Structure 1
Amino acid sequence: GKPITALSLVAFPPELGYLVLEEILKGGRDKIEESGAVVVGGHSLEDKEPKFGYAVTGIVHPEKFVTSKGVKIGDKLILTKPIGLGILATALKGGIIAEKEMMDAIDNARTLNKKASEVMMEVGVNGCTDITGFGFLGHLHIMLKASNKSALIYTEKMPIYLKALELAQIGFVPAGTHENKKFVKDYVEGEPTKDAVLMDILLDPQTSGGLLISVPSVKSDLLIQRLDEEGVKTKELVGEIVKGKESHIELM
């Protein structure tokens, strides 16, 4: 697919100052233009907390798109960004950490999934989802449910922000993590589920998370190679699609 136009949606508290709003709008416009789309206008209103996003219109070929449905047994699962950003963002907002302590995560959040998506389409894959508000396990569960499949996850291979891990170890996690835990509690099993810190990371709500790609096993090395050639920093093989209970996830 290709994004064409974007309409900005802004809620902003005036006391933060309009220079801040100007920077937010500029940053958003820069990323929209990087994606190949154009900002055509927007709507704004005053609110107690800043909120910002876009309504985007694009085009897609009816026979050349990838959804979360269609993963097949034997597929390998490739993740293109580390997880733990929700913990870091909440800590930054609360003054627990400084911006300089999460610059690697900020740089990743600024990075579009455009290159990873283009490589994925070039190589040919069976399914894909982005990792956002439901966390890694939540979005994986949705993908599995859509395809009536099960997955095995190699927890030691998961790319995790180290600072997020430190914060999770002292119990600092966003409220959304607990809601995500309720969402998947009947569908996740395996010895690592006893590790509360790991589970908090795997359920951490993400913003601008990476892609979780389900690729045929015979193409997994090629996908990782092409992602590397295109400068995608994270391309970790984190699991596979297996026979098992429908929409269940086994951690190992």
Structure 2
Amino acid sequence: MDTVEETTLEVEAIEGKYMIHDRKNGRRALEISQSNDAHRMIVDALGKIVTWERTLQLRNDKSAIQNWVDLELAVIGKNREQAFYTDKEIALTASSDHFMERDGALFAGFIPRARIKGAGQNLRCYLFHLRSNYGIESYEGEVVFRPDEHPGKEAVILPMWKNPKGWGLSPGEKEAFSYFMLLACTEALDYHQLLQSGLSATREVLFDWNPLAVSDDWCSKLMKVRLVRQ
């Protein structure tokens, strides 16, 4: 059994299969049959898991713009009621009382939003969905905050998705989790470099001149969302 210490990963060979265990998150990351391509697939999978973990750790503690931006998550229930969350980690109870139910699946609508306050210059915002299968997705790319479009407003909320995306538990699934990461930058980001496909199909069911401008700066805001079936 081999271990990748940085992310506490273990590769186990047993009964004609290889299994990758993610000890940090307490789960089996991947199971594949032993074959000629197995070693290549294992190396590829380990690389994706390490990249996923490193992306979660993206921080810029010296950022001058980090107090301008916060991440807020809007959750929309089956009766279109909305709840808003700003904590770094939240747990939601998935029940038929508040979630949509379809053939045993329970899901709600989600819209991550950037809350911007006190920013006197353009900011380029990117929302990344880090899924439980180690995929990293950015569904709608860049959303730009321009202060001249919001005269007189001290605080502005920018939806990072044009429409809600349904996310929830598949039939029989007891629990699921995802991370949402907001990156705010003073310059354009080649965000495609951060994207990657997952290891498997997840069971989850989405220049005006300014002498005070801060350039080449960025900050991140991270939120973990856990769904638990009632």
Identify which of structures 1 and 2 has the higher relative contact order when contacts are C-alpha pairs closer than 8 Å and 6+ apart: 1
TM-score range, shorter-chain basis?
under 0.3
TM-score (norm 2): 0.26
Choose between structure 1 and 2: higher strand proportion: 2
Which protein has the larger Cα radius of gyration, Structure 1 or Structure 2? 2
More helix by share: 1
TM-score by length of 1: 0.25
